[in-house]
Each structure stands twice: as structure tokens, then as C-alpha cells.
Amino acid sequence: MLVASASIGLLAPVAAQASDSLNLGGMNEYKRISNSSSKRYFDSKSFVNDDFATSNNSVKGIEASQTSFEAGSFSDTTTLDSKVIFTVGALSTPVDGNGVNRVSEATKATYMMQSNLNTSFTGDDNLYIRLKTGNATDWQKEYKYGTYLSSSKGNGDQVKVDKIWYSFPVGNNTFWIGPKIENYYMHGTSPSIYKPVLKQFTLGGNGAAFGASTNPGIGWAYKAENGFAISSNAVSQEGDATGGWGTNESKTSWASQIGYTKPNYSASVILNMKYNGWTDSYYTTPLGKARDNNANSTNIGLRGWWRPDDTGTAVPSISLGYDTSEVDGQAADTSAYFVGLTWQDTFTLDDRIGVAFGQPQTRSDESVDPFAWEIYYSYKLNDSMTITPAIFGATDRNGRTDDPDKAEEMLGAVIETTFKF
């Protein structure tokens, strides 16, 4: 009790000082005059009371040196943008031989929150930090049937550092290094322009060639003025653990890409060498994912996209993907394909219709032909709020069935509301 009493006595004048130093009116004014852009710029004087900062007076009992206190906490070159996604959805899945659903069918009402901090120290470099949290569970994070949502995050309501890296340019070259990064952030060519609801449809098929993991990594990309780009990067799953970065004990992905991009189209090829049993989960069947004896694999991905000159027409933009994977010591190879179609400005400005379908990474000796699809409509209520209803489904998505003459059908639906600020 004596300690508590003393602590309160010390905190009281500090609290009084902070209340004088913070320009609460300035905070409210900042909020009112902010434009519709999702980015906010901060500096060390954003919310400081100028009168307090220059005053030689102080709260009674506080030393005069404390009058120079400033409440700013951001660098002059730091930007912050954030988003929150509310998700409500349900799922209908196949049942096993005992009549039990293979995946939980519970209706879910969940959220995800993400904040992006970007800081430059030279004007050209960037320190990127992503904070993320959410409470997604069950089918919203299910790999096996491809129902993992792009918006899902299951941190159990704990805000964590989700990504962190530093990048800097040297001429037409860009270099990355970071303790939490994925391969595809370091590619020179964007593999797809389709924006998916399901995570399996990111990157033109998030499987053998582009599947990644958030771990320590380094990378380099060269982008020429004419649209040509070449890049190479490596991420090691044991880089922050006892196995060590890039060792024989660590699962490592080394991806190299060559691409060419113009305003209306792009084409690229990637070679991704994955070592020591690295596996991918989003766009694959369990057999397609399997690696014998922590084997290495050679994965090749072809990507291309095209978009028309004008939106608001019946002609969609098109994204295509095709992957092959060969595993050392494994007789059967795997393959996958993806098609993504997007119509923009169809009914209102900035709306989006998306359709995607394809075959996940499947071994050539599997007895069924897995298939997955999604359809959504994204409608912008204003610059900061978007509503997206979607339906999705699959046939034999798990690459197996108890009855070879009966396909395993799956169907799901979600409504997502995105707030950007």
C-alpha cells in the first residue's frame, strides 16, 4: 500500500503535465480535416501544444527541464494506414463414412485488423512493419478444403508483428532483408491482378511455385525501364530457430523469376527450389503437398495477365497460372492451374465482379480431379468502406472420396465488410 500510494503521488503531476502538453483539440481538428486518403503522415509535432512546448512555466513540483517534453511518437517520414474486415459466413461440407462433417460447418462472425507502418530514412528506402490480429477459426483457416479466407487471421485477439523488413534501391535494383518476409514480396513481376476472397487463389494459384512462408529472408530485383524484370530471393523457415538460416536442417525456398510487364499485360516464369521438405498448403491436395523423407522439390510456375483499355465493358481482365512440381525420390509429379476473371465498374464506379476457378496442386496418380471456384461482387459504399458478398465451392477438393462414384461437394458463402482508415 505504501508503494501504491507513492506511485500515485508520482504519477499525478506527470498526468497533469501530459494533459497540458497534448493538444486534444488539434487531434480532433486533424481528424476533421483529413482527406479521403487511407494514409496518414505523422511527425514529432503533430499533436503537441505549441504554447506548452515553448513555455518556461511548469506544473508545480516538476523541474523546469521537463517543460521541453513533446508528445510526438512518429518519425517525420512515417506513414500509417489501417483496415478492419468484418466477416460473416457459413459452410456446407462433405461427410465421412460415419456421417460426420469433414470440416466444421459453424456459422462464423469474425474480424481481422491490420496496420501498415512505412518509414523512410533516405527518401528512397523503406522500413515496413505490419501489425495484425484477428479471431478467425475452424473452416476460415482450413487448408485441406481450400476455405482459408484471404482476410483470415487467428491471433486470438493478440496484436502481433506480422511482417517486418527493410528495402532500399541501388539504381534500377531493389534489395530486401528482413526477419519476417515472404518470397513473393521480393519478386520483380506481379504474377496476377486478380483479387481473391479465398487465399488459395492469390498469386495466380498459391501452390508449389509461389507458396511461401513468413520467415527471415533476403532478396534482390532488377526492373528495367522497358518492363523487363528479374529477381531472386530466399526464405528459410529455421532462420529464427535453432536450425539456423539456410542450413541442411532448415526448410528453405529459393525463388528466381523473369518477367515482362506493360500497362495492359504481363508474362513471367518462376523457378522455385524448395529444400528439406518444404511444403505448401493453400492450393494443394494432401497428396500434392506430400514430400517423402524431407525431400527437395523443383517447382516451375507460369503466370500471365491481361486487361482491356477500358473498364465497364463486358470484357474482363484475365489472370492465368500453371504450376508443375517434381519431388526428389517421388515417382508422381504434381500440377495445378488457375483462371481469374475480373469485371470493374460494371454497375457503379469502383465496383468489382470476380470469378476464379482451377485445379489445386494434384499428383498425377490421384484417382480424382479436384476442382475449386469462387464468385464475388465487391461494392464500394465510399472511399473507406467496401462490402463484398461471395460464394465458393469445390468438388473432391481434398483429392479423395469414400465412394469413387460419388464426388465430394462443398459450398460456402461469406459477406465481408472492409473499413480502411
Q: Coil, strand or helix: which one is 328?
A: coil
Rounded distance between C-alpha atoms, residue 383 and residue 204, angstroms: 27
CA distances from 259 to 66, 173, 187, 336 (A): 57, 15, 9, 20
From residue 317, give the alpha-carbon distance in Å to each of 81, 204, 218, 283, 314: 28, 13, 32, 22, 10
Contact call for residues 393 and 372 (beta carbons, < 8 A): yes
Indicate the length of the chain as a whole number. 421
Alpha-carbon distance of 112 to 89, in angstroms, equals 14
Closest CA to 170 of 237, 213, 125: 125
Domains of the chain by residue range: 2-68, 78-420
What backbone phi and psi angles, to 5 degrees, belong to 26?
A: -65, -35
34 CB-contact burial (10 Å; exposed 0-12 / middle 13-18 / buried 19+) = exposed
Q: Measured at the alpha carbon of residue 70, what is the angle toward residues 68 and 75, in degrees to the nearest 5?
A: 130
Q: What is the CA radius of gyration of the chain?
A: 25
Element at 5 (helix H, strand E): helix 2-21
pLDDT digits (tens, 9 = 90+) for 235-287: 998 766 667 776 777 899 999 999 999 999 999 999 999 999 999 999 999 99
Q: Tell me, what DSSP letter sits at residue 316? A: P
Q: What is the DSSP letter of 263?
A: T
CB 68 within 8 A of CB 106: no
Q: What are phi and psi of 146, to 5 degrees?
A: 70, 20
**Pairwise CA distance, residues 146 & 107, whole Å:** 17
Residue given cell 470484357 in the structure block: 315
Task: Say what the pLDDT of residue 241 is.
Answer: 67
Q: Domain 78-420 classified CATH 2.40.160.10?
A: yes
Separation between Cα atoms, residue 332 and residue 364, nearest integer Å: 6
pLDDT at 245: 73
CB neighbours of 148 closer than 8 A, spacing ≥ 6?
140, 141, 142, 198, 199, 200, 282
In this structure, the dihedral spanned by the alpha carbons of residues 203, 206, 209 and 210, taken in order and rounded to 10 degrees, is: 50
Give the type of residue at 196. Answer: P
Give the pLDDT confidence of 177-201 residue by residue, as tens digits. Answer: 999 999 999 999 999 999 999 999 9
CA–CA gap between residue 237 and residue 183 (Å, rounded): 12
Q: What is the pLDDT of residue 70?
A: 45
For residue 361, list its beta bridge partners: 284
Strand 297-306 versus strand 317-327 pairing type: antiparallel
Beta bridge partners of residue 90, listed in sequence order: 413
**Under 8 Å between Cβ of 326 and 274:** no
Q: Write down the pLDDT at residue 261.
A: 98
> What DSSP string runs through 20-57?
HHB-HHHHHHHHHH--S-S-EEE-TTTTB-HHHHH-S-
Sequence-ordered list of residues with C-beta below 8 angstroms from that of 211, at least 6 positions apart, any chain: 253, 280, 281, 282, 283, 284
Output the CA–CA distances (angstroms, integers) from residue 261 to 57, 157, 193, in the order listed.
61, 40, 12
Cell numbers representing residue 240 in the block: 529464427
Q: 325: which strand partners?
A: 299, 334
Q: Looking at residue 192, what is its pLDDT?
A: 97
Which residue numbers in the chain have pLDDT < 50?
1-38, 42-72
CA 140 to chain centre: 15
